[in-house]
């Protein structure tokens, strides 16, 4: 980790330059630091979800509503870039998050390709990067409380097919788990049980809409399904959303879900090993739906901004962002995230 100087870039037609306001430090960045993602072009500028002020653009650039993006506006953008809308996955399967052309700001671009990460005073938005303006009512900090976790959780909640009053178990109390908690609460869930640790994150879960929390440092893996069943009328949760990154969670999660319920897998972002299941008891006999969920697209980012704006006063969102760090302390930010000393850290390159 080191701070480098780059020249201010020239803008291609259709490109936009942002003055960075905030950029997220997320679990993926910890994985990046430890080299756990394949084919990463080190060195790179981390920071995939960011918010910035438009400095300038080369020509007229519009958002998804067709409105021109103007200098001075505060915006975010979809970190995923280059979805081709020309391949079989994009056009036939309509599974654009599996498009092989996708590249991601702060993850798959090397530093020699430009200012293509958010931990930087400026961010270069290539032509075609999808920009979403932040409404004035939504502060950059509240937006960063959602960060990449909010659209990720929204994708998972969409996949869950939640109906009014459905009970929900959320496995994990990291940013994605917390956002899944808030979003299922907003979507009219009945009982919500969050299983995670440590205690401050479980406090946050309660503040974001959980009815019950289960501290996994206190309650063992074999007990957790039983606890969830006890809290959901003896049957298990209608819907369980896995947001842990821990393979063993899959086994527990299937077992805490009621027969004919739905299990969404969104947390297994990196290869952390295997898990053993019993397909008779855990799948077939339960008549379960298991829906795995990869990545986000513009719809999740766009809708997430609208949802957060509308409900900005419903929850103490800002408390999810424990601390802002200047660029020079990015290494410390990563350590604090890795050691769970903070729920979420953000880089503010202008302090």
Nearer to its own copies, 139 or 299 (CB): 299
**Contact assessment for residue 50 and residue 118, using Cβ atoms and an 8 Å cutoff:** yes
Selected binder of its own copies within 54, 144, 298, 343 (CB under 8 A): 298
> Can residue 165 be called a binding residue for its own copies (CB under 8 A)?
yes
**Contact assessment for residue 325 and residue 350, using Cβ atoms and an 8 Å cutoff:** no
> Can residue 64 be called a binding residue for its own copies (CB under 8 A)?
yes
Contacts to its own copies from residues 118-147, by CB under 8 A: 128, 130
Residue 285's DSSP bridge partners are: none
Report the greatest alpha carbon distance in the chain: 62
Q: Structure tokens of 350?
A: 């202008």
Angle between helices 248-256 and 224-231 (to 10 degrees): 30
Closest CA to 26 of 270, 203, 255: 270
Nearer to its own copies, 4 or 276 (CB): 276
Selected binder of its own copies within 272, 319, 332, 335 (CB under 8 A): 272
> Can residue 195 be called a binding residue for its own copies (CB under 8 A)?
no
Dist. CA 129–CA 265, nearest whole Å: 28
Nearer to its own copies, 314 or 350 (CB): 314
Nearer to its own copies, 17 or 157 (CB): 157
**Contact assessment for residue 184 and residue 168, using Cβ atoms and an 8 Å cutoff:** yes
To the nearest whole angstrom, how small is the minimum distance from the Cβ of residue 43 to its own copies? Answer: 25
Contacts to its own copies from residues 223-262, by CB under 8 A: 233, 235, 247, 250, 258-260
Contacts to its own copies from residues 300-329, by CB under 8 A: 302-303, 306-307, 310
The span of 41-49, 213-221, 289-297, 330-338 binding its own copies (CB under 8 A) equals 289-297
Our CA angle for 290, 308, 228, nearest 5°, is 40
> Can residue 297 be called a binding residue for its own copies (CB under 8 A)?
yes
Site track 169-188 with its own copies (rule: CB under 8 A), x = hit: --------------x--xxx
**Contact assessment for residue 54 and residue 71, using Cβ atoms and an 8 Å cutoff:** yes
**Helix, strand, or coil here: 137?**
coil
> Can residue 35 be called a binding residue for its own copies (CB under 8 A)?
no
The span of 21-29, 39-47, 161-169, 222-230 binding its own copies (CB under 8 A) equals 161-169
Decide the pairing of beta strands 16-25 and 122-125: antiparallel
**Contact assessment for residue 301 and residue 51, using Cβ atoms and an 8 Å cutoff:** no
> Can residue 277 be called a binding residue for its own copies (CB under 8 A)?
yes
Site track 94-123 with its own copies (rule: CB under 8 A), x = hit: xx-xx-------------------------
**Helix, strand, or coil here: 219?**
coil
The span of 103-111, 158-166, 172-180, 322-330 binding its own copies (CB under 8 A) equals 158-166
Decide the pairing of beta strands 192-196 and 212-215: parallel
**Contact assessment for residue 160 and residue 241, using Cβ atoms and an 8 Å cutoff:** yes
> Can residue 3 be called a binding residue for its own copies (CB under 8 A)?
no
To the nearest whole angstrom, how small is the minimum distance from the Cβ of residue 23 to its own copies? Answer: 23
């Amino acid at each position: 980790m080191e701070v480098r100087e780059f020249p201010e870039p020239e803008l291609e037609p259709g490109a936009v330059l942002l003055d960075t306001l905030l950029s997220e430090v997320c679990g993926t960045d910890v994985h990046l630091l430890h080299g756990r993602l394949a084919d990463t072009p080190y060195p790179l500028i981390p920071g995939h979800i960011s918010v910035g002020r438009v400095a300038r653009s080369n020509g007229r650039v519009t958002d998804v509503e067709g409105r021109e993006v103007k200098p001075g506006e505060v915006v975010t953008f979809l970190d995923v870039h280059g979805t081709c809308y020309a391949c079989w996955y994009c056009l036939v399967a309509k599974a654009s998050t599996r498009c092989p052309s996708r590249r991601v700001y702060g993850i798959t671009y090397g530093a020699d390709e430009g200012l293509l990460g958010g931990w930087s005073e400026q961010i270069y938005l290539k032509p075609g990067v999808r920009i979403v303006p932040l409404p004035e009512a939504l502060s950059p900090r509240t937006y960063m409380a959602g960060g990449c976790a909010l659209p990720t959780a929204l994708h998972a909640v969409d996949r869950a097919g939640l109906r009014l009053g459905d009970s929900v178990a959320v496995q994990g109390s990291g940013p994605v788990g917390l956002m899944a908690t808030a979003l299922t609460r907003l979507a009219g869930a009945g009982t919500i049980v969050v299983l995670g640790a440590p205690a401050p994150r479980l406090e946050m879960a309660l503040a974001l809409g959980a009815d019950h929390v289960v501290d996994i440092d206190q309650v063992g893996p074999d007990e957790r399904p039983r606890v969830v069943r006890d809290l959901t009328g003896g049957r298990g949760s209608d819907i369980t959303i896995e947001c842990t990154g821990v393979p063993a969670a899959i086994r527990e999660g299937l077992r805490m879900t009621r027969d004919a319920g739905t299990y969404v897998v969104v947390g297994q972002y990196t290869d952390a090993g295997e898990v053993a299941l019993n397909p008779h008891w855990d799948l077939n006999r339960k008549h379960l739906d298991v829906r795995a969920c990869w990545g986000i697209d513009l719809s999740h980012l766009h809708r997430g901004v609208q949802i957060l704006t509308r409900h900005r006063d419903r929850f103490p969102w800002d408390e999810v962002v424990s601390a802002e760090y200047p660029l020079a302390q990015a290494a410390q930010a990563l350590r604090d995230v890795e050691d769970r000393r903070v729920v979420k850290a953000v880089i503010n390159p202008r302090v």
